[in-house]
Amino acid sequence: MREARSLLIDVSELLRSPGSSRRLELEEEVAGLAVPMAHVAGAPVLDLLAERVVEGILISGTVSGALELECIRCLTEVEDVFSVPVSELFATGEIAPGDEVYPVEGDHIDLEPMVRDAVVLGLPLNPLCRPDCKGLCPQCGQDLNEADCGHRPERIDVRWEPLRRLKETMGE
């Protein structure tokens, strides 16, 4: 077993050497990389440069990995990949409320909140297995992408789909 918090990076050497930089290549599981219909599968890959700047440590690069999505119309699982750019300051000084920076904590920076912020914001809230997914028949549950069951339901407005499903789970 590896240490649970290995996104906690010792930056003491960087802090001692103005102008220095260090490459960080990491692959670590991060909890909470999920929204209702999408989550990161496995450990995201971090390819980052840590640079000592006047205000602290600047982290830039990309976070990438695999996604598992659930189509909001037919509930089919879909696999995808993601890659998000990051460029964030970890400040050594006082952080004022509203400053969009992360703290340097002693000799360490914790990349986990940064990864979570960057990745979760980019997760799709309404994933589709394909742009023209026909969804499930509301009467018999048939996947209408695979076969036409012959039912002719009224058109469902997808904007109301989450509400409809909520009503279903509450037993109408």
Among 11, 56, 73, 104, contact with Zn ion (rule: CB under 5 A): 73
∠ CA(135), CA(140), CA(146), 5° rounding? 45
Nearer to Zn ion, 71 or 89 (CB): 71
133 belongs to the binding site for Zn ion (CB under 5 A): yes
d(CA 89, CA 9): 14
Give dist(CA 162, CA 72) in Å, integer.
Answer: 9
CB of 128 to Zn ion, least distance (A): 6
Whole-number minimum distance, CB 120 to Zn ion, in Å? 23
The upper half-sphere exposure of residue 40, i.e. CA atoms within 13 Å in the direction of its Cβ, equals 26
**Opening angle at CA 90, ends 85 and 94, nearest 5:** 145
Q: Which CB atom, from 73 or from 116, has the smaller least distance to Zn ion? A: 73
Among 71, 104, 111, 114, binds Zn ion (CB under 5 A): 71
Quick one: which of 4, 8, 140, 156 contacts Zn ion (CB under 5 A)? 140
151 sits near Zn ion (criterion: CB under 5 A): yes
Look at the block and give the residue holding tokens 């802090």: 15
Which residue, 110, 135, 143, is CA-closest to 28?
110
Task: Please select the residue that binds Zn ion; options are 58, 59, 74, 118, rule is CB under 5 A.
Answer: 74
Which residue among 109, 111, 115, 129 contacts Zn ion (CB under 5 A)?
Answer: 129
**Number of residues in the chain:** 172
**Shortest distance (Å) from residue 160 CB to Zn ion:** 17
Write the Ramachandran bin of 143: left for phi over 0, alpha for psi from -120 to 50, otherwise beta: beta
Of the pair 57, 136, the CB lying nearest Zn ion is at 136
Is position 146 an interface residue for Zn ion (rule: CB under 5 A)? no
Which residues of this protein are in contact with Zn ion, per CB under 5 A?
71, 73-74, 76, 129, 133, 137, 139-140, 142, 149, 151
